[in-house]
Amino acid sequence: MAHLSRADIVALDKRYIWHPYTPMRRYIDEVDPLVIERAEGARLFDADGRSYIDGNSSWWVATLGHNHPRLVEALCRQARTMCHTSLAGVTHAPAAELAAEMIAVAPRPLDRVFYSDDGSTAVEVALKLCLQFFRNEGQPGRRRFVALDGAYHGDTLGAASLGGVEIFRRQYGGVLMDCIFVPPPHAREDGHEAAFAALADVLARGAGEIAAVVLEPLVQGTAGMRIYDPEYLRRARALCDAHGALLVIDEVFTGYGRTGPMWACEAAGVAPDLLCTGKGFSGGMLPMAATLATARIFDAFLGAPERAFYYGHSFCGNPLGAAVAREVLAVYREEEILARAAPKAARIARAFADMGAIPGASRARALGMIGAIDLSRGAGYLGELGWRAYAEARRLGAYLRPLGDVVYVAPPLTIPDADLDELLDIVRRSVTFALSTA
């Protein structure tokens, strides 16, 4: 096939592709998209020969940067042997070894791994496990879930039921599962006590009805990188135990060192009943995810055939994904990714603290390899100032994707210091530009 020009690619794109999270009329009429030809490390390279620092790890997945040579080699090595087989009455070394290695790094007492395709399906698995767990245990009335206002746990119908971002939820309101939303701790001027009291009240009034509390640990990403104290997780764990509900921790974004430790819930010393992981799980190489469960959950599905978990995906435990995910864990161990990211996290924290002094900016914050700042108050996901900053950052050589009027970075944990400093300077200049045009 002849090499396509940039114009040819854009023409085909606008004629045939339906993009995610995109008002398509505006996109077709107004947007000149980036056309990326290759990626390496912390950079994306476009068809015009320009490079862009990937400020959000391409939707938070490229925790080790793009095309990490060890991950590429693991993928090629596995592809030469076996690309796929089902996991139905079949097993293979990559899936079995990965499961053992995942449990070795997981919070105890998690000790079983159920594979799926992405973060949404990892959460979907957890919800179905919760519902059937209680049915198998003789408590079929436990069918309700509790999540935080502003929560985001994915886009399948089950996961969307837990979504507290209204623009993602309202189109499907009539068919979503029953979820009770409680105020997040970061949103209360009176602090964690009021948020904790609200959660305690819901669990007390819903005794016998609530299956699980589902939380993004320490930071609500899609809500605008809203950070909260680990104490809330500790109290949520205690409340779930007291009222017989399960605790599900969604580490799809926060896991693999994004907030500092391997798992964000480690900062609270908390272990969930179910843990969901994705994104960095395969280093951004392949769609692969997992839901980790305790023996208590697993054992409830043993016995008569009707107690089994009749659920799965065609690519469940895919050998390619499993081989790459194993290599991701090896890279984390052998290249000391978490320790080497710590000084980078400190650079992000200092830079965003300084940006808090920019006139018009507010609520500068950072946690691990995340930094965020608000360009307005209350505009929400459809705010326009963040997109002005995006356009300026693109002109200057960085790819940012704002959350409305929240501008943030979540770069690869392996981003070189020079690239990180350049990225943070571009963010500062872009935020200043956007606010000067408000």
Catalogue the active-site residues.
Answer: 21, 152, 250, 279
Residues 92, 182: Cα–Cα separation, whole Å: 43
Q: Which residue in this structure is represented by tokens 């919760």?
A: 130
Burial class (CB in 10 A: 0-12, 13-18, 19+), 70: middle
* Continuous H helices in 155-215: 157-161, 166-169, 192-205
Residues 289, 345: Cα–Cα separation, whole Å: 26
Q: Which residue in this structure is represented by tokens 């769609």?
A: 287
Strand pairing category for 36-40 and 43-46 = antiparallel
- 420: closest CA among 340, 362, 331? 340
Burial class (CB in 10 A: 0-12, 13-18, 19+), 310: exposed
Contact 235, 178 (CB under 8 A): no
Q: How many CB atoms lie within 10 A of CB 173?
A: 10
- 162: closest CA among 206, 107, 218, 223? 223
- 204: closest CA among 147, 244, 232? 244
Which H or E run contains 243? helix 230-243
Q: Which residue in this structure is represented by tokens 């950052």?
A: 393
Q: Name the phi and psi angles at 340, rounded to 5.
A: -75, -20
Residues 371, 350: Cα–Cα separation, whole Å: 10
Contact 125, 175 (CB under 8 A): no
Handedness of CA 233, 238, 243, 244 (dihedral sign): positive
User: What are the tokens at 399?
Assistant: 């790819």
Q: Name the phi and psi angles at 53, rounded to 5.
A: -70, 130
Q: Which strands, in side-by-side order, build the sheet including 246-250?
A: 110-116, 289-294, 274-277, 246-250, 210-215, 144-148, 179-182
CA atoms within 13 A on the CB side of 80: 5
As a residue count, the chain comes to 438
